[in-house]
Amino acid sequence: MVSPGSTVLCVTDLCVALHDADRVAHTTGTVSDDGHDVLSSAWRPAIRGVSFTVNHGEILSIVGESASGKTLSMYATFRLLDPGARATSGTVELFGQRVDAARGGEVVRKSGESRRRRVANGDDEWRATLGSRVGFLFQDPIGSWTPQFTIGHQAGEALDEHTDLPADEIERRVRDALGEVKLPKRGFGAFVSSLSRGEAQRAMLAAAIANVPDLLIADEPLTGLDATSAASVLALLRDMQEKRGMAMVFITHDLALAASFSDRIAIMYGGRLVETAPTHELIRHPRHPYTAGLIGALPMVGRDRLRPVRGSPPNLWDERRGCSFAPRCDFAADVCEDVPPSTVVGEAASVACWLQDELTLPGLPVGS
C-alpha cells in the first residue's frame, strides 16, 4: 500500500545519450570500475539532468513540444530504452526501490517484442514492481501490442505473472475492463491487427485498469482518438485516479489539457525540465519565458489570432553552450548565450532561467 502524500516516483538528475548514426563506432566503449558504461564519441547527450517527483494520488503533467524528450525521459526512467539510447547518469526511486538509471538502463529488445512485453523483461525485482504496480499507456498503441497474441491474453499477463489470481478471475477482470473502455465484445479474443488505433489505445487503458496500478504513465493517451473517444478516455483516467488514489504522469504537448487535468506541471524544453510548479501557480505566474510563450500561444476566446512561440525547438543532440531557449527568447542576455542556467529548486517550484527573479511574465487568471 502507498500512504497518502508519500512519494511514489522520484527521478533525480537523469541524463540520456543518443547514438549518432553518422559516427562509426556503435560500441559503448569500456566499463568503468563502478560498473558504468564509458560511452564512445558516437554518443551525444540528449536528456540533461531531469528531476521530478510524483506523489500518491497526484497527477503530474509533462508538457513540451514534439521531440523535446518527454517519451525518452520516461523510457529511461523505467529502463525501456531502445539500443540507440543509453541512460548515462541519474537515480530513480520507485515505491522506495532505488536504482541507478545508468546501470542496466537498457533492456535489449528481442525481435518482434513489443514495448509492453519488454516491461516484463528487466531484472526480477524491478520487473515485479513494474508489472504489479505501474501501468503504461504508451504513445504508440498499435506497436505496443505484440501482434501474435490476443488482446485478452496480453491484458491479463501482468496479473497472471504477479498475482495468485486464478485464470478465470483474471479473465473476468480483463473482460470487465474491456467493457469499461467500451471495446466491442470481440476485444478479448482480437489481435491488434484487427483493431483501429483508437480501439488499440482503449485496450491499453483496459489492461491498465485490470491491473489496478498505483502509478499510471499515460504518454499522449488521446493521440489519434476522435473527440468523443478522447473525452471518454479522459473521464476514465480521472475516475481511476480519483477512486483508486492512483498517481499519474500525463505526457502531452497540450498545455490547456494539462492545466485542466493535473495538480502540477513540468515544462520540458530541449531535453531539460525548465519549469515545474503547481498548475495554478504556473499558469498564473510563469517564471520561465518558454512557459509564458506556451501560455501566450493558447487558443482562447477574445484572441484574434494564435501567437506561437517564434522559431523552432533544437534537436536534442545539438551541441550548445548556453541556454537552449536563447535563440527564441526575447530576454536573452550575454550570460544566456554562454552558460546554461542551473535549476533553482524552491519549496514547491523549480525554474531554470538566469533572469527568473527579474522578469515579470504574463500568465492567465485561472483558479481564483
User: By the criterion CB under 6 A, which residues form the site for ligand SF4?
Assistant: 288-289, 323, 325-326, 329, 331-332, 336, 341, 353-355
Between CA 360 and CA 368 the distance in angstroms is 19
In the bound state with ligand ATP, the residue whose beta carbon lies nearer, of 84 and 147, is: 84
Q: Write a three-state SS string for 301-345.
A: CCCCCCCCCCCCCCCCCCCCCCCCCHHHCCCCCHHHHHCCCCCEE
- 253 near ligand ATP, rule: CB under 6 A: yes
Q: How far is the CB of 333 from ligand SF4 (least distance, A)?
A: 6
Q: How far is the CB of 214 from ligand ATP (least distance, A)?
A: 24
In the bound state with ligand ATP, the residue whose beta carbon lies nearer, of 152 and 271, is: 271
Give the up-direction half-sphere exposure of residue 195: CA atoms within 13 A in the CB hemisphere. Answer: 29
Read off the amino acid at residue 283. I
Residue 329 binding partner per list ligand SF4, ligand ATP, Mg ion, none, with a CB distance cut-off of 5 to 8 Å that depends on partner kind: ligand SF4
Residue 72 binding partner per list ligand SF4, ligand ATP, Mg ion, none, with a CB distance cut-off of 5 to 8 Å that depends on partner kind: ligand ATP
Helix, strand, or coil (residue 47): strand
Between CA 220 and CA 104 the distance in angstroms is 27
Residue with cell 528481442: 110
The β-bridge relationship of strands 215-219 and 264-269 is unpaired
Between CA 52 and CA 60 the distance in angstroms is 9
Nearest CA among 64, 239, 249 for reference residue 138: 249
Total of residues contacting ligand ATP (CB under 6 A): 16
In the bound state with Mg ion, the residue whose beta carbon lies nearer, of 139 and 241, is: 139
What is the pattern of x (binds ligand ATP, CB under 6 A) and - over residues 82-111?
A: x-xx--------------------------
In the bound state with ligand ATP, the residue whose beta carbon lies nearer, of 256 and 332, is: 256
Residue 354 binding partner per list Mg ion, ligand SF4, ligand ATP, none, with a CB distance cut-off of 5 to 8 Å that depends on partner kind: ligand SF4
**351 within 8 A of 274, measured Cβ to Cβ:** yes
In the bound state with Mg ion, the residue whose beta carbon lies nearer, of 72 and 353, is: 72
* Burial call 48-68: b when 16+ CB within 10 Å, e when fewer: bbbbbbbbbbbbbbbbbeeeb
Residue 10 binding partner per list ligand SF4, Mg ion, ligand ATP, none, with a CB distance cut-off of 5 to 8 Å that depends on partner kind: none
Q: Which of 68, 241, 276, 350 binds ligand ATP (CB under 6 A)?
A: 68
Residue 67 binding partner per list ligand SF4, ligand ATP, Mg ion, none, with a CB distance cut-off of 5 to 8 Å that depends on partner kind: ligand ATP
Residue 63 phi/psi, 5-degree rounding, is: -120, 135
Q: CA 293, 9, 110: angle at the middle one, nearest 5?
A: 95
Residue 219 phi/psi, 5-degree rounding, is: -100, 105
Q: Single out the segment in contact with Mg ion by CB under 5 A; choices: 2-10, 64-72, 284-292, 308-316.
A: 64-72
Nearest CA among 8, 96, 99, 10 for reference residue 53: 10
Q: How far is the CB of 21 from ligand ATP (least distance, A)?
A: 8
Residue 127 binding partner per list ligand SF4, ligand ATP, Mg ion, none, with a CB distance cut-off of 5 to 8 Å that depends on partner kind: none
Task: Name the residues that contact Mg ion, by CB under 5 A.
Answer: 71, 139
Task: Name the residues that contact ligand ATP, by CB under 6 A.
Answer: 18, 46, 64, 66-72, 82, 84-85, 139, 253, 316
